[in-house]
A and B are shown apart, each in its own frame.
Chain A
Amino acid sequence: MAEMDTSSGGGHKKGPGVKKGKKLSTRVDLTPMVDLGFLLITFFIFTTTMSQATAMRLFLPKDADKPEDQNKAKESGVITILLGKDNHVFYYEGILDNNASNFKSSNFHDIRQVLINKKARTPEKDMVVVIKPSNDCTYKNVVDMLDEMAINILKRYALVDISEPEAKLVQISDQSAAASGQN
């Protein structure tokens, strides 16, 4: 296929004094070209991202006006996650102490282990995760945290507004974290 007929004419012998023209094969080695072709194919396949966007569902609870309508959760099963500035994550279990002694710092990597541990320790029906994003956290942080619920199959979680003392605490911790990062 990839060759041309270079033999001259009908192949009759030339005279004795006539030098034979060297027959050059026009056969091209196509191996590098095949290599290149497949290389490009692999490149295109790997760089193509599936543009099919997926969607994550979120059901909002209806705002309960009266406090007695609100869902009650057992203190032992509650873990509250606070989202701060610059991807900071804080959490506490149960109710926040007055002196904030159970207020712990974490990050998006370690919080998974915290949740897994908590899940292993608490009976399933008592486990509630409360997510409180502060005003400084990003949309990505919130989605990541909701995703964390899906990853660890935590069925009961709520997105709750942050309270004033918690917001302050997060702000102070954010600042101290930023300061320690600079030193």
Chain B
Amino acid sequence: MGRAKLPRKSTNIDMTAMCDVAFLLLSFFILTTKFKPSEAIAVTTPKSVSAKIAPQKDFVQIILDKDGKVFLTMDDEAKKEQIANTLNSTKNLGINPTAFKKALFIGAPFGSLNSFLQLPEDRRKGNALPGIPVKDSSNNELTEWMRLIKDAYTGQKQPALLLKGDNLAKYPAFKAIIDAFKKNDLLKFQMITNPEGAPVGTDLWKRGQAGEKQEEL
């Protein structure tokens, strides 16, 4: 029987192209990865099911670290300068508005604010600083700060209030911050969290399965 002979083909595939693609992707991922900027104040935020992205501009952020120390940051430099000037005229602190404007965060009582601002930026580390005193309810300096900020934004859209708290921070410090907000009638704020999926079987999960959007609470 004359069977047609099939030519034997090699099963070797040229992997070069695939290799190229793999490494191209690899280098792409490595290069596009942004490293987290090292932060002066180490904070590990808790997780929540909230899917709302935290605002990236026009915010005032209160940082609560694990020892219960409170720091304040805000992104609007013009407002910061304005606050510094107000502080100088009302409390006679004699701080340098430019230094205040450039400071990434504020973490000292009013009394030692001046010496705090004279520290070089790289020596302002969360664990070595006193933070804004809040614990004493009769002398909660954050209340004062919030009033200053509120006044600075009078007649404008109020900034988004963010609270970035550490997992291990104790509740009294958190309460002191809430009190400072409340005293200034700032009743809406947002807590920075890490995203996490809704646990399977719960009402929120069922709603997610039904394709409804997570409503704003």
> Chain A: residues with CB nearer than 8 A to chain B?
1-2, 27, 29-31, 33-34, 37-38, 40-41, 44-45, 48, 50-63, 83, 112, 116, 119, 133-144, 146-147, 149-153, 155, 159, 161
Write 17 A-B pairs (CB below 8 A) sorted by A numbering.
A2-B16, A30-B15, A53-B193, A54-B195, A55-B193, A56-B50, A56-B190, A57-B190, A57-B217, A116-B202, A135-B172, A138-B171, A139-B168, A140-B168, A147-B48, A149-B217, A151-B198
Knowing A1-B16, A50-B195, A135-B170, say if A151 contacts B217 (CB, 8 Å): no
Contact with B25, one of A41, A59, A112 (Cβ below 8 angstroms) = A41
Q: Which of B28-36, B76-84, B138-146 contacts A (4 or more CB under 8 A)?
A: B28-36
Complex formed: what's the CA distance from A119 to B202 in Å? 12
Contact with A138, one of B19, B169, B191 (Cβ below 8 angstroms) = B169
The reply to whether B187 and A61 contact each other, CB–CB distance below 8 Å, is yes
Cβ-based interface call for B136 (8 A)? no
Cβ-based interface call for B96 (8 A)? no
Knowing A55-B55, A56-B50, say if A153 contacts B204 (CB, 8 Å): yes
The reply to whether A144 and B46 contact each other, CB–CB distance below 8 Å, is yes
Cβ-based interface call for B119 (8 A)? no
Complex formed: what's the CA distance from A156 to B129 in Å? 39
B interface majority secondary structure: mixed
Which residue of chain A has the shortest Cβ distance to B205 in the bound complex?
A151
Cβ-based interface call for B133 (8 A)? no
The reply to whether B26 and A44 contact each other, CB–CB distance below 8 Å, is yes
The reply to whether A152 and B204 contact each other, CB–CB distance below 8 Å, is yes
Contact with A44, one of B33, B175, B204 (Cβ below 8 angstroms) = B33
* Residue interface mask B40-71, A partner, CB < 8 A = 1: 00000111111111110000000010000000
Complex formed: what's the CA distance from A138 to B202 in Å? 25
A interface majority secondary structure: mixed
The reply to whether B36 and A51 contact each other, CB–CB distance below 8 Å, is yes
The reply to whether B52 and A62 contact each other, CB–CB distance below 8 Å, is no
* Residue interface mask B160-196, A partner, CB < 8 A = 1: 0010011111111111001001100101111111110
Contacts of A52 in B (CB 8 A): 53-54, 195
A38 to chain B, nearest CB (A): 5
Contacts of B49 in A (CB 8 A): 147, 150-151
The reply to whether A112 and B192 contact each other, CB–CB distance below 8 Å, is no
Complex formed: what's the CA distance from A151 to B197 in Å? 10
Contact with A30, one of B16, B162, B175, B207 (Cβ below 8 angstroms) = B16
Which residue of chain A has the shortest Cβ distance to B13 in the bound complex?
A31
The reply to whether A60 and B181 contact each other, CB–CB distance below 8 Å, is yes
Contacts of B168 in A (CB 8 A): 138-140
Complex formed: what's the CA distance from A83 to B175 in Å? 14
Contacts of A146 in B (CB 8 A): 48, 191
Contacts of A143 in B (CB 8 A): 46, 48, 165, 191, 193
